């Protein structure tokens, strides 16, 4: 896609002066004029005009309806105009409007198809305003289709055609797109402006302290003095300098050393310390860490008094949910705190409290995001019976419906013997069998009929243990639903890579931490060599400990710059308005018992 975008954009730039200086050729045709009448008046006039003039009037009417956000009306008017009857300029105009209407209906692939019309080869001959409109529609379609790099490149080509606020908006969008790209797409490209943007994104992703990140950005500006982003640094980066002038030197790590959560706390602590030692080995000056045992606390007030006396600037912990809930109910805290769990209530907590954990709700929202990006629109859900399953389903439903998706039905999985019945009900197989039986009774003869499942389901959202998932996929096949895509949370993956364990899960897509999907990460290899259990499901906790360390100096950055993301080992991390860390996760699929990572669609 990228290779074919550049010639089109280059033609637009080369034709800029031609478009401004010369009237359209007779073969190109004229564009519809800005209407000074209502939609009805334009359509009435079109009915009394020769065919070519009528088409121009109908295009004007369709465009006016689009600008008034009457998308259905605009589409019906546009349907009255046959593309083959138009001259090239009008075909470009109609194709662009069709793409914009498709985008209004969340149909990016249809928009890209409309913009693939052969008339677009003459886009550079049209006025600049039309060139900009068409290419902005293409950029938006590419972005909505998950082609983030191509969308950024299209906007980079458009940039010289823009001025004032439109140029500023495009500049900011380029950075948003480039900054969201995964690392493997941030390599140098042939185009100098694009290569510069990608290099800036790599600099901004520098791990370590804010000071090191700022130094990497300053170095980039020195090497790219004429780049558009150097002349006007993105807002999120221009604020870094102020934040980087406040170094973090003392951290308190507050975790239980005894009790039910002691093993979890050890994994978090070891991941945290591994990141600390890695920073030391890299020549950084990491903050000093003070250890406190939350299982022996008499009160949080007493702890904060001790921590303040010891010069602590940031508390990492507690892990225990009751303590986090207690902190969330306070009006303010004496020290900024990154809790390693989430409070029971959803009410807004004190400004000094941040919350971070491996929430199953994050994965439910991630499944909704990924399925939508993959073009799915109608879902059914299978979740465990109980409070945990209810929370996961609620998070999926809220996120899925907010995106515009439809949740047709849901079942709560409990007893294995009930699974076949539940799946049959989910896909309305019993109704199909009943219809066949009724027909047989009516005819009085045996009827050869295979049960047919409902056809209005695009995919299944699944939250299940490995044991449940091993039963569910074969049961789906048995119940004539084996071809329905399944999007699952990470809970069905144990972390090991024994093919025999996953043969019955073939085709299931699931989100997972980068820690468990990227076995080549240097820190993961170092940790797993010392603690082998970090290579299994406990690895998610080690990854969370690493990310807690990396989040520590970035909390104010995430708060001041809401669009900022941190690429962590537990996911791509951001801060929501309630000051809870949310994770976006990469995806994988079981194929012949093996885990195959899927291309990212972060956007």
11 pLDDT exceeds 70?
A: no
Stretch (H or E) spanning 337: strand 336-339
Would you state the pLDDT for residue 482? 64
Q: Which is the CATH superfamily of the domain at 2-179?
A: Tetratricopeptide repeat domain (1.25.40.10)
Q: What are phi and psi of 360, to 5 degrees?
A: -65, -30
Percent of the chain topping pLDDT 90:
55
260 by Cβ neighbours in 10 Å (0-12 / 13-18 / 19+) ranks as: exposed
pTM, two decimals, is: 0.68
115 pLDDT exceeds 80?
A: yes
Which class in CATH covers the domain with range 247-355+518-576?
alpha beta
> How much is the average pLDDT of 106-132?
94
Helices (H), 205-261: 210-223, 228-231, 235-238, 240-244
Q: Enumerate the domain spans of the chain.
A: 2-179, 196-244, 247-355+518-576, 360-512+588-597
- Grade residue 243 by pLDDT with cuts at 50, 70 and 90: confident
| Spatial separation of the C-alpha atoms in residues 128 and 135, rounded to whole Å | 11
Residues contacting residue 342 through CB under 8 Å, at least 6 positions apart: 321, 324, 355, 357, 359, 580
Would you state the pLDDT for residue 95? 96
Q: Which of 553, 550, 556, 588 is nearest to 569 (CA)?
A: 550
Q: 483-503 burial string, b = 16+ CB within 10 Å, else e?
A: ebebbbbbbbbebeeeeeebe
Tens of pLDDT, residues 381-438? 989 889 999 999 999 999 999 999 999 888 888 765 566 677 667 665 444 344 334 4
| Spatial separation of the C-alpha atoms in residues 77 and 71, rounded to whole Å | 10
22 pLDDT exceeds 60?
A: no
Q: How far, in whole angstroms, is CA 109 from its chain's centroid?
A: 18
| 3-state secondary structure at position 447 | coil
Residues contacting residue 480 through CB under 8 Å, at least 6 positions apart: 427, 429, 450, 451, 452, 453
Contact 314, 336 (CB under 8 A): yes
Tens of pLDDT, residues 184-232? 788 766 668 999 999 998 888 776 667 778 888 999 999 999 999 999 9
Q: Which of 555, 95, 124, 150 is nearest to 355 (CA)?
A: 555
| Spatial separation of the C-alpha atoms in residues 108 and 86, rounded to whole Å | 24
| Spatial separation of the C-alpha atoms in residues 583 and 570, rounded to whole Å | 7
34 pLDDT exceeds 90?
A: no
Q: Which of 148, 144, 138 is nearest to 599 (CA)?
A: 148
| 3-state secondary structure at position 594 | strand
Residues contacting residue 410 through CB under 8 Å, at least 6 positions apart: 380, 381, 382, 383, 393, 397
Contact 342, 324 (CB under 8 A): yes
SS3 track for 4-15: HHHHHHHHHHHC
Q: Which of 356, 321, 324, 326 is nearest to 340 (CA)?
A: 356
- Grade residue 5 by pLDDT with cuts at 50, 70 and 90: very low
> How much is the average pLDDT of 441-470?
66
Greater confidence (348 vs 103) lies with 103
Would you state the pLDDT for residue 478? 60
220 by Cβ neighbours in 10 Å (0-12 / 13-18 / 19+) ranks as: buried
Would you state the pLDDT for residue 6? 39
| Spatial separation of the C-alpha atoms in residues 353 and 337, rounded to whole Å | 5
**Per-chain mean pLDDT for the chain:** 85
Tens of pLDDT, residues 94-109? 999 999 999 999 899 9
Q: Which of 220, 143, 229, 169 is nearest to 194 (CA)?
A: 229
Residues contacting residue 417 through CB under 8 Å, at least 6 positions apart: none
Would you state the pLDDT for residue 45? 87
Contact 408, 396 (CB under 8 A): no
What length is written for the chain? Answer: 603
| Spatial separation of the C-alpha atoms in residues 421 and 526, rounded to whole Å | 47
Helices (H), 453-580: 466-478, 499-502, 514-517, 522-530, 539-551, 555-560
DSSP labels, 34-67: PP-S-HHHHHHHHHTS-HHHHHHHHHHHHHHHHH
Task: Compute the CA torsion angle 421, 425, 430, 435 (nearest 10 deg).
Answer: 180
Q: What are phi and psi of 412, to 5 degrees?
A: -100, 115
Contact 410, 380 (CB under 8 A): yes
First to last CA, the chain: 18
Q: 84-115 burial string, b = 16+ CB within 10 Å, else e?
A: eebbbbbbbbbbbbbbbbbbeeebbebbbebb
| 3-state secondary structure at position 577 | coil
Greater confidence (241 vs 27) lies with 27
247-355+518-576 shares the fold of 2-179 = no
| Spatial separation of the C-alpha atoms in residues 340 and 317, rounded to whole Å | 5
Which class in CATH covers the domain with range 360-512+588-597?
alpha beta
| Spatial separation of the C-alpha atoms in residues 178 and 228, rounded to whole Å | 14
| 3-state secondary structure at position 243 | helix
Task: Compute the CA torsion angle 466, 467, 472, 475 (nearest 10 deg).
Answer: 140
| Spatial separation of the C-alpha atoms in residues 580 and 599, rounded to whole Å | 27
């Amino acid at each position: 896609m990228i290779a074919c975008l550049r010639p089109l954009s280059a033609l637009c730039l080369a034709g800029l002066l031609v478009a401004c200086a010369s009237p359209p050729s007779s073969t190109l045709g004229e564009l519809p004029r800005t209407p000074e009448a209502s939609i009805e008046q334009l359509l009435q006039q079109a009915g009394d005009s020769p065919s070519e003039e009528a088409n121009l009037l109908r295009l004007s009417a369709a465009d006016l309806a689009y600008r008034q956000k009457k998308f259905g009306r605009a589409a019906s008017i546009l349907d009255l105009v046959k593309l083959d009857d138009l001259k090239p300029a009008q075909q470009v105009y109609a194709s662009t409007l069709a793409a914009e209407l498709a985008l209004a209906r969340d149909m990016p692939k249809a928009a890209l198809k409309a913009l693939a019309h052969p008339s677009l080869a003459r886009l550079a001959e049209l006025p600049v305003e039309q060139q900009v409109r068409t290419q902005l529609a293409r950029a938006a379609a590419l972005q909505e289709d998950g082609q983030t790099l191509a969308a950024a490149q299209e906007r980079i080509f458009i940039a010289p055609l823009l001025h004032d606020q439109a140029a500023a908006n495009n500049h900011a969008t380029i950075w948003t797109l480039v900054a969201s790209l995964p690392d493997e797409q941030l390599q140098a490209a042939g185009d100098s402006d694009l290569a510069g943007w990608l290099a800036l994104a790599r600099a901004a992703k520098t791990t370590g302290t804010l000071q090191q990140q700022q130094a990497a950005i300053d170095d980039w500006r020195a090497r790219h003095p004429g780049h558009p982003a150097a002349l006007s640094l993105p807002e999120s980066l221009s604020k870094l300098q102020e934040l980087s002038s406040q170094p973090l030197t003392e951290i308190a790590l507050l975790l239980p050393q005894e009790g039910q959560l002691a093993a979890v706390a050890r994994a978090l602590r070891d991941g945290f310390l591994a990141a600390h030692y890695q920073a030391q080995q890299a020549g950084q000056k990491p903050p000093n860490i003070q250890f406190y045992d939350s299982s022996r606390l008499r009160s949080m007030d007493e702890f904060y008094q001790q921590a303040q006396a010891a010069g602590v600037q940031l508390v990492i912990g507690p892990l225990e949910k009751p303590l986090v809930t207690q902190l969330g109910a306070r009006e303010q805290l004496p020290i900024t705190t990154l809790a390693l769990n989430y409070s029971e209530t959803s009410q807004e907590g004190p400004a000094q409290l941040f919350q971070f954990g491996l929430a199953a709700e994050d994965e439910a929202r991630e499944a909704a995001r990924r399925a939508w990006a993959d073009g799915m629109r109608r879902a059914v859900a299978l979740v465990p019976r109980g409070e945990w399953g209810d929370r996961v389903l609620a998070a999926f439903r809220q996120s899925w419906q907010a995106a515009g998706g439809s949740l047709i039905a849901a079942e709560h999985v409990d007893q294995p013997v009930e699974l076949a019945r539940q799946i049959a009900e989910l896909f309305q197989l019993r109704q199909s069998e009943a219809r066949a039986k009724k027909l047989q009774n009516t005819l009085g003869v045996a009827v050869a009929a295979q049960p047919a499942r409902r056809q209005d389901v695009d995919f299944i959202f699944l939250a299940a243990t490995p044991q449940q998932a091993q039963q569910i996929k074969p049961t789906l096949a048995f119940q004539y639903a084996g071809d329905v895509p399944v999007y699952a949370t990470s809970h069905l993956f144990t972390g090991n890579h024994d093919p025999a364990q996953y043969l019955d899960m073939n085709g299931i897509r699931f989100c997972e931490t980068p820690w468990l999907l990227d076995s080549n990460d240097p820190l993961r290899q170092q940790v797993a060599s010392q603690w082998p259990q970090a290579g299994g499901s406990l690895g998610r906790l080690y990854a969370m400990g690493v990310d807690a360390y990396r989040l520590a100096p970035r909390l104010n950055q995430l708060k001041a710059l809401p669009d900022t993301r941190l690429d962590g080992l537990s996911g791509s991390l951001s801060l929501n308005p309630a000051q809870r860390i949310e994770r976006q996760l990469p995806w994988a699929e079981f194929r012949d018992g093996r885990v195959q990572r899927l291309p990212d669609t972060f956007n």
